[in-house]
Chain A
Amino acid sequence: MAARIQVPRAARRGDVIEVRILIQHPMETGYRHDDVGHLIKRNVINVLSCRYAGVEVFRADLSSGISANPYVQFYTVAEASGDLEFTWVDDEGQRGSERQAIVVKG
């Protein structure tokens, strides 16, 4: 599962930074049928979490009510240099993760 994250590469300590993530995922609702009339099994990303230098700063429970290729934007305070690490799991148990380092000055 590919994902794109947008986090500033550098920030000043104490700055509130914008974090954006876009994950490539169908977020299959479980209410659609395929061409031969069989129900397509639900497969959505349940949990998305973001850890900043090992500490969880954001978590989201998602459902079929979130669009395909889920996009989430939130904020966090730049405390220290480290990695922002995203992890997510879908109904089929498939896990994904993506990380980006941030340099905090001051």
Chain B
Amino acid sequence: MKRRDFLAGAAGALALPGAALAQLDPLDPLVRALAGGAPVRKGRVTLVLPQLADNGNSVPIRITVDSPMTPADHVKSIHLYSERNPVPNMANFYLGPRAGKAEINSRVRLAGSQRVTAVAKLSDGTFWYDAAPIVVTLSACLDES
């Protein structure tokens, strides 16, 4: 068996089925608490994660929000949620019109294969989100490493 075929197969076997991910949403209460009852719609936010991370201790993450970033219309904050980390709210970033561009890059720890969610709060009071699935081979946080 070629290494490439093996890796593709392994990644497929580890990935959670899409249907199960759609139903299982332990983040929901947290996101709802953040939005305070306002609807959180999908769109405007783009969350970029690698499909597969060999090491969950440092996973590059990029969040961009489609916003002109003017005093009248800008992103106020971006919130990152993990489904399986012991601390689900990984980070909050506070921006303003002085950012010029709503983009954040960082590196996160992920305890296992899961779905990561980014929620953006806009100056007009609306909330938008994007989620991305990721397969993590070596989980962070709970390992004795």
Stretch from A2-10, A28-36, A85-93, A94-102 contacting the other chain: A28-36
* Distance A58 CA – B58 CA, assembled complex (angstroms): 22
The verdict on A68 contacting B58 (CB below 8 Å), with A60-B93, A63-B90 known, is: yes
Interface size class of A (residues with CB under 8 A): 20 to 34
Q: Which of A52-94 contact B (CB under 8 A)?
A: 52, 55, 57-68, 70-77, 79
Stretch from B6-14, B44-52, B95-103 contacting the other chain: B95-103
B103 touches A74 (CB 8 A): yes
* Distance A55 CA – B92 CA, assembled complex (angstroms): 19
B109 touches A65 (CB 8 A): yes
* Distance A9 CA – B33 CA, assembled complex (angstroms): 41
B103 touches A64 (CB 8 A): no
Interface size class of B (residues with CB under 8 A): 20 to 34
B93 touches A58 (CB 8 A): yes
* Distance A22 CA – B104 CA, assembled complex (angstroms): 14
CB distance from A27 to the nearest CB of B (A): 8
Residues of A close to B23: CB separation below 8 A: none
Residues of A close to B80: CB separation below 8 A: 65
* Distance A32 CA – B43 CA, assembled complex (angstroms): 37
Quick one: closest B residue to A14, CB to CB? Answer: B100
Interface string of B98-142 (1 = CB under 8 A from A): 111101111111100000000000000000000000000000111
Residues of A close to B96: CB separation below 8 A: 57
Quick one: closest A residue to B57, CB to CB? Answer: A67
* Distance A78 CA – B58 CA, assembled complex (angstroms): 31
CB distance from A57 to the nearest CB of B (A): 5
Query: Which residues of B come within 8 Å of A, CB atoms?
Result: 57-59, 80, 82, 85-87, 89-96, 98-101, 103-110, 140-142, 144-145
The 8 residue pairs across chains A and B that have the minimum distance between CB atoms: A65-B90, A16-B100, A73-B105, A77-B100, A75-B101, A67-B107, A67-B58, A61-B92
26 A–B pairs (Cβ distance < 8 Å), ordered by A: A33-B144, A57-B99, A58-B94, A58-B99, A63-B91, A64-B85, A65-B85, A65-B89, A66-B90, A66-B91, A66-B108, A67-B107, A67-B108, A67-B109, A68-B57, A72-B93, A72-B104, A73-B103, A73-B106, A74-B93, A75-B100, A75-B103, A76-B99, A77-B98, A77-B100, A79-B98
